[in-house]
Structure 1
Amino acid sequence: MSDELLVVRAQLGNRAALEDLVTRWQRPVWLYVRRMLDAERADDVAQEAWIAVVRALPRLREPDRFAPWLFTIVRRATLNRMRRQYADRHDLVGDFESDVDRPHDGIRDPVDGLMDRAEMVARLAGIPVLEREVLVLHYLEDLSVEDCAQVCGVPAGTVKSRLNRARLMLRAHVEEEGERT
């Protein structure tokens, strides 16, 4: 069943449709938040975002645009938490994790997976929040440039330039590490 149909059914009061939506999107939401914040805060922020989603779902006018709408709410919850933390003079950059384990020659070595994840964590942590955000949304959450623009509330050209800067930063970080080894 499509997200659009589930949204319409949930808006009409079908609890099973709402449960299906939450089940389908729970992991992508948590992974997005986790990539932006540390694990300790990710659970709380994801839960806050879901509460906001459930409250706002009846007002969603374009059910076919559910994913960008969802990530807009999740982004807002994440940024609100980051702002509160900044106001409290805590560190804005947390640990970042990727659920991407790259198989090698069809065989997945758990140690390699841990190293890949650790490398991703280190590389994401070194990128400023605005660039990291579009990188996560576009490459890890598979949103289009236009959807990223909608989620971030910026023009598509801004998303493209942030993606370009993020790629350059990642490349520089990888090249710098290569020179050190």
Structure 2
Amino acid sequence: MVDLHQAREVDPGRPPELDFDGFYAAHFQSLTIQLYAYTGDLPGAQDVVQEAFLRALARWRRLSAMDDPLAWVRRVAWNLATSQWRRARTAALFLRRNRLENAPEPGPDRVALADALATLPARHRRVVILHYLADQSVRDIANQVGVPEGTVKAWLHRGRTALAAHLTEKEDET
């Protein structure tokens, strides 16, 4: 574990920049700008630069003795940004492949149902989905939601009634 007081001690024989606080203050902004230009994401750039400085703080005794500790911090920040980009790219490719292969476009009935469900109050929508889409019993839903079974039945009734009215209304419009 790093002792922050030791890491922040200033050696009178060294330039003030080699104090960690001074080093951080002198280079955080410029390094963030570089990473922002690389990633196009300011909060992401700030995060990776912050992480690089945290790693530098943990090794400050050794790093402060280097000729160019900023080069080390810069390399760590760029490596972190590149790793994040690679993970994001891999995730996007995975999603694209699986969506194309496994998920057909929703049909008009599914779109109409999703629209109708969106009109329900949250608690009614939840119990309708749990009962009809997740195949849970009224008792299981009551335990999960923390209400009596009679309340679940009432919410199911109100939800079905509202869905029927909404779907009938949409059907009449077409």
TM-score computed with the length of structure 2 as normaliser:
0.40
Pick the structure with more helix per residue. Answer: 2
Rg (Cα) greater in structure: 2
Larger relative contact order, structure 1 or 2 (CA cutoff 8 Å, min sep 6): 1
TM-score computed with the length of structure 1 as normaliser:
0.38
